[in-house]
Chain A
Amino acid sequence: MAQRKTNGSKLFMMVLYMVAACSAIPISDLLDRASQRSDTLHSLSTTLTQDLDSHFPPMGRVITPRPSMCHTSSLHTPIDKEQALQVSEADLLSLVRSLLQAWRDPLVILSTSANTLPHPAQNSISTKVQELLEHTKSLGDGLDILSGKFGPAAQSISSLPYRGGNDISQDRISRLTNFHFLMSCFRRDSHKIDSFLKVLRCRAAKLQPEMC
């Protein structure tokens, strides 16, 4: 599946290049494919979070940091529908790209720490994290190309550096807790990405109302 996703991402990039060159493929289709990929991304993260929750130590709940402590929380994103619908496409795309960019490094860290995660479902978690990484990268690359269509505003990416360090904590509880926290942050951000892209898709498909 990862290979398929890689191939899919390559194909997506090729398509985007073609779009850039020939603009034969309508944006709506491209956005449709992007939204599909973000959908998959979010589904994966949801599954991963549920797997983690199955064996979450009760103590961890107490010391779980708040979601506002996600490294991407500084990014100002719409908090309701009215706000979201008022954001321009370029801004939306910029937000999406910023989020995707912000998660490249943490996902790498998560991937490495997932190998030694003290969790019964460690194997599946590790696999899924790997997939997440690939998806995020492919989507980010595709959107980087697509953003050229949306004007200069789409090109700007907010930098959201991850300051959690190269490795999450050493002790078992901390590791699990941190892992869970990171995953929850990613889950929300992936949902944002997916929602924004789907709004963009609907906006781009004015002539095809069945898409929305």
Chain B
Amino acid sequence: MKKVVEVFLLFLLLVFTPHAKGTGNSPPGKPTLNRCRSPEKETFTCWWEPGSDGGLPTTFALYYRKETSETVYECPDYHTAGKNSCFFNKNDTSIWVNYNITVVATNALGSTFSDPVDIDVVYIVKPNPPERVTVIVLEDKSWPFLRVSWEPPHKADTRSGWITLVYQIRVKLEQEKDWETHHAGQQKMFNVFSLRSGGTYLVQVRCKPDHGFWSEWSSTSYVKVPDYFHREKSVWILIMVFSAFIFLILTWLLHMNSHSLKHCILPPVPGPKIKGFDNQLLKNGKSEELFSALVVSDFPPTTSYNYEDLLVEYLEVNVPEEQELMLEENKDLHDGCLKSECSTSDSDSGRGSCDSHTLLMDKCGEAKEEERQTDQERMGTEAEDMVSPDMSSGRVKTWPSVFSPLPQYSSNTLDEQSSLEMAKQHYLSDSQFLPSSTSSYLTQPGHGTKEALGPSYWEFCLSNKQPHLLHPQTQARQQLQAHSDVDISSIGRKQAPAGLQSPLLRPTEYVEVQRVNEEDMVHLQPVVSGCGQNNCSPQMPQGEDYSKVKGVDSDNVLLLQRNMMEEDRLKENCYTSSTVTTTQKPTAMPVQDEMVLGMNGYVDTATMCILPTY
């Protein structure tokens, strides 16, 4: 019953008390001892955090109990350390003793106990910051540094060794953010180096017991590092200026002597000294041209070369002035560079000379051989040095008009016929001035009629002394007069003085050598064409039948070759060679035939004497 009443009353109290008090009041919240600290290991202070006060004035009480006794003591000093603190003085402080401390918050409604805390004073030591921190700027060989000195907190008894403190310093420039921390150990002085001149430094010091907490940082000490000029810098500047100066001088010198230096350091590379070596070709990169230039043309000697290359295309014929005139008239007809200069000539110049010791045959042979370049058979013949005139139409310049009918010296000429024909045609064209009358030879060169082509005109230098001109004469031999001055032109122009009539020129007319008089003149007589080779008409004077010139021997003797007969040697001027038989000179035969065939209207040199006609 009692209990029910007590409970009821308590319930009422609990219900009404808040209403009676108006606002929500409650017992105080639980306070918490947040920290206890001892600055010197002799006293200590504890601070607590009050909880909610519950709307009522709350009082706090701190109770502690030492481990050695069960007696609960209350805090002796609530005020020295401030609010919500309890200060334990020296008398109340025991070290190496556990304290069990509890804070109680009490208000009208109740009290609340905090959680008990066990502490040992020696473990909660946190000294005061060092005192009397002084910072001065000193110079160490013109380098400034800071000397920081301080005093331990006055309460800490470091003299007896009761507390051993270690210190820490931090420095920073005024405008910087990060501190530079230095550990100073137990010493009370410290030097800070590597400063920047002209700045304000902030210095702070703190300390810590050997087994405790760090103290707070001391108050900041400001120190201004004065501006100073680096003596080292001046030296460096001087050195740099000097070296720059020297560098400039060296550069200038180098520039002045760049050429000689270039020669000294980079001597010119000697070029190749190969004969025929062209650097330009090498640079162009055309190796073919380069190497072809190196090839010596005449090395190695070639075994075969075209003899015909040595032929002289153009022959200069040295004719007497009269002949020259005649030849000059013929120039229009043919584009021959006929030089009718009667002067001495050598075989090299290619000029035929009446006075030349060389017989006409020489020239004829040369000219002919030009024509026969392709024919190699003639290379090894006897008439090697006897070149035959070139019968090609374009080439035979000198000969065509004159000597075209005189081609066949060497034995075998395959293309003789053609050449002869060509020559003949040429001659025909050239010698269109051969009218029936001699007078009208040169006036109308362009007839081109074959009819005009009668006897072939040729100049035949038999000897040096007396060029003889052989005229194909249909007339009698008296017409044939070998004059030294006779030339073609004269033939052309002259009236047939001595009744020189142009015979009725038949296509093929041959003149045969009748005889040779004492004066070394060859008398010719026409041979009736159409005669067969062996069926010569009795018109043909019996005589020696010479069909062709075999060659000129070393005596400048013209060797005529008799047709199928023995060849006789003409004395001095006209010699017939010995008999030519097919067997002996097989080469003679075809030539002869061809010669015969080729002859139309003119007599070649070979047939100067008597040409068997067809």
A100 → chain B, closest Cβ, in Å? 16
Taking the complex as formed, is B587 at the interface, i.e. its CB lies under 8 A from any CB of chain A?
Answer: no
Cα–Cα, bound, A158→B96 (Å): 19
Please state if A81 and B162 are interface contacts (CB–CB under 8 Å): yes
Please state if A81 and B41 are interface contacts (CB–CB under 8 Å): yes
Give the number of chain A interface residues (Cβ < 8 Å): 28
Residues A210 and B160 in contact in the complex (CB < 8 Å), given A43-B211, A67-B67: no
B426 → chain A, closest Cβ, in Å? 130
A81 → chain B, closest Cβ, in Å? 5
| Main SS class of interface, B | loop
Cross-chain contact of B161 among A39, A42, A192, A199 (Cβ < 8 A)? A199
Please state if B211 and A80 are interface contacts (CB–CB under 8 Å): no
Please state if B98 and A66 are interface contacts (CB–CB under 8 Å): yes
Q: Mark A183-212, 1 if CB is under 8 A from B, else 0.
A: 000001001101100111111000001111
Please state if A198 and B161 are interface contacts (CB–CB under 8 Å): yes
Residues A212 and B159 in contact in the complex (CB < 8 Å), given A67-B98, A79-B95: yes
Cα–Cα, bound, A212→B163 (Å): 8
Please state if A80 and B93 are interface contacts (CB–CB under 8 Å): yes
Output the nearest chain B residue to A190 by Cβ-Cβ distance: B211
Taking the complex as formed, is A170 at the interface, i.e. its CB lies under 8 A from any CB of chain B?
Answer: no
A181 → chain B, closest Cβ, in Å? 12
B95 → chain A, closest Cβ, in Å? 6
Please state if B162 and A84 are interface contacts (CB–CB under 8 Å): yes
Please state if B94 and A211 are interface contacts (CB–CB under 8 Å): no
Please state if A77 and B187 are interface contacts (CB–CB under 8 Å): no
Taking the complex as formed, is B158 at the interface, i.e. its CB lies under 8 A from any CB of chain A?
Answer: yes
Name 14 extra pairs, CB < 8 A, besides A39-B211, A203-B161.
A66-B67, A67-B98, A81-B41, A81-B90, A188-B96, A191-B96, A194-B210, A195-B162, A198-B164, A199-B161, A200-B161, A209-B159, A212-B158, A212-B159
Q: For residue A195, which residues in chain B have a CB less than 8 angstroms away from its CB?
A: 122, 162
Cα–Cα, bound, A198→B159 (Å): 11
Taking the complex as formed, is A68 at the interface, i.e. its CB lies under 8 A from any CB of chain B?
Answer: yes
Taking the complex as formed, is B157 at the interface, i.e. its CB lies under 8 A from any CB of chain A?
Answer: yes
Taking the complex as formed, is A127 at the interface, i.e. its CB lies under 8 A from any CB of chain B?
Answer: no
B134-167 at interface with A (beta carbon < 8 Å): 157-162, 164
Cα–Cα, bound, A195→B122 (Å): 10
Q: For residue B68, which residues in chain A have a CB less than 8 angstroms away from its CB?
A: 68
B164 → chain A, closest Cβ, in Å? 5
Taking the complex as formed, is A18 at the interface, i.e. its CB lies under 8 A from any CB of chain B?
Answer: no
Taking the complex as formed, is A2 at the interface, i.e. its CB lies under 8 A from any CB of chain B?
Answer: no
Q: For residue B161, which residues in chain A have a CB less than 8 angstroms away from its CB?
A: 198-203, 212
Q: For residue B158, which residues in chain A have a CB less than 8 angstroms away from its CB?
A: 212
Cross-chain contact of B42 among A46, A67, A80, A201 (Cβ < 8 A)? A80
A residues with CB within 8 A of B = 39, 42-43, 46, 66-68, 77, 79-81, 84-85, 188, 191-192, 194-195, 198-203, 209-212
A210 → chain B, closest Cβ, in Å? 6
Taking the complex as formed, is B261 at the interface, i.e. its CB lies under 8 A from any CB of chain A?
Answer: no
A69 → chain B, closest Cβ, in Å? 9
Cα–Cα, bound, A80→B158 (Å): 15
Output the nearest chain B residue to A211 by Cβ-Cβ distance: B186
Please state if B67 and A199 are interface contacts (CB–CB under 8 Å): no
Cα–Cα, bound, A209→B98 (Å): 33
A141 → chain B, closest Cβ, in Å? 23
Please state if B67 and A80 are interface contacts (CB–CB under 8 Å): no
Q: For residue B42, which residues in chain A have a CB less than 8 angstroms away from its CB?
A: 80-81
Please state if B186 and A81 are interface contacts (CB–CB under 8 Å): no
B residues with CB within 8 A of A = 41-42, 67-68, 90, 93-98, 120, 122-123, 157-162, 164, 186-188, 210-211
Q: For residue B90, which residues in chain A have a CB less than 8 angstroms away from its CB?
A: 80-81
Q: For residue A201, which residues in chain B have a CB less than 8 angstroms away from its CB?
A: 161
23 A-B pairs whose Cβ atoms sit less than 8 Å apart in the complex = A42-B211, A46-B211, A66-B98, A67-B67, A67-B98, A79-B97, A80-B94, A80-B95, A84-B162, A85-B160, A188-B96, A188-B120, A191-B96, A191-B122, A194-B211, A198-B161, A198-B210, A199-B160, A199-B162, A203-B160, A209-B159, A210-B187, A212-B161
Sort A-B residue pairs by CB-CB distance and give the 3 closest, nearest first.
A202-B161, A199-B161, A79-B94
Please state if A210 and B186 are interface contacts (CB–CB under 8 Å): yes
Q: For residue A192, which residues in chain B have a CB less than 8 angstroms away from its CB?
A: 96
A29 → chain B, closest Cβ, in Å? 15
Q: For residue B159, which residues in chain A have a CB less than 8 angstroms away from its CB?
A: 202, 209, 212
Cα–Cα, bound, A211→B159 (Å): 9
Output the nearest chain B residue to A198 by Cβ-Cβ distance: B161
Q: For residue B122, which residues in chain A have a CB less than 8 angstroms away from its CB?
A: 188, 191, 195
Q: For residue B93, which residues in chain A have a CB less than 8 angstroms away from its CB?
A: 80
B120 → chain A, closest Cβ, in Å? 7
Output the nearest chain A residue to B98 by Cβ-Cβ distance: A67
Please state if B96 and A85 are interface contacts (CB–CB under 8 Å): no
Q: For residue A46, which residues in chain B have a CB less than 8 angstroms away from its CB?
A: 211
Highest count of chain B CB atoms <10 Å: which of A81, A84, A188 = A81
Please state if A68 and B162 are interface contacts (CB–CB under 8 Å): no
Please state if B98 and A191 are interface contacts (CB–CB under 8 Å): no
Cα–Cα, bound, A202→B161 (Å): 5
A50 → chain B, closest Cβ, in Å? 11
Highest count of chain B CB atoms <10 Å: which of A80, A191, A202 = A80
Q: For residue A188, which residues in chain B have a CB less than 8 angstroms away from its CB?
A: 96, 120, 122
Q: For residue B120, which residues in chain A have a CB less than 8 angstroms away from its CB?
A: 188
Q: For residue A85, which residues in chain B have a CB less than 8 angstroms away from its CB?
A: 160, 162
Highest count of chain A CB atoms <10 Å: which of B41, B68, B97, B164 = B164
Output the nearest chain B residue to A188 by Cβ-Cβ distance: B96
Q: For residue A81, which residues in chain B have a CB less than 8 angstroms away from its CB?
A: 41-42, 90, 95, 157, 160, 162
Cα–Cα, bound, A68→B120 (Å): 13
Cα–Cα, bound, A66→B95 (Å): 15
Cα–Cα, bound, A188→B95 (Å): 10
B112 → chain A, closest Cβ, in Å? 21
Q: For residue B97, which residues in chain A have a CB less than 8 angstroms away from its CB?
A: 79
Output the nearest chain A residue to B122 by Cβ-Cβ distance: A191
Residues A77 and B164 in contact in the complex (CB < 8 Å), given A210-B186, A212-B159: no
Cross-chain contact of A68 among B67, B160, B187, B210 (Cβ < 8 A)? B67
Cα–Cα, bound, A80→B211 (Å): 17
Output the nearest chain A residue to B159 by Cβ-Cβ distance: A212
B407 → chain A, closest Cβ, in Å? 129
Residues A191 and B67 in contact in the complex (CB < 8 Å), given A201-B161, A212-B159: no
Cα–Cα, bound, A199→B211 (Å): 15
Q: For residue A79, which residues in chain B have a CB less than 8 angstroms away from its CB?
A: 94-97
Cα–Cα, bound, A85→B159 (Å): 11
Q: For residue A191, which residues in chain B have a CB less than 8 angstroms away from its CB?
A: 96, 122-123, 211
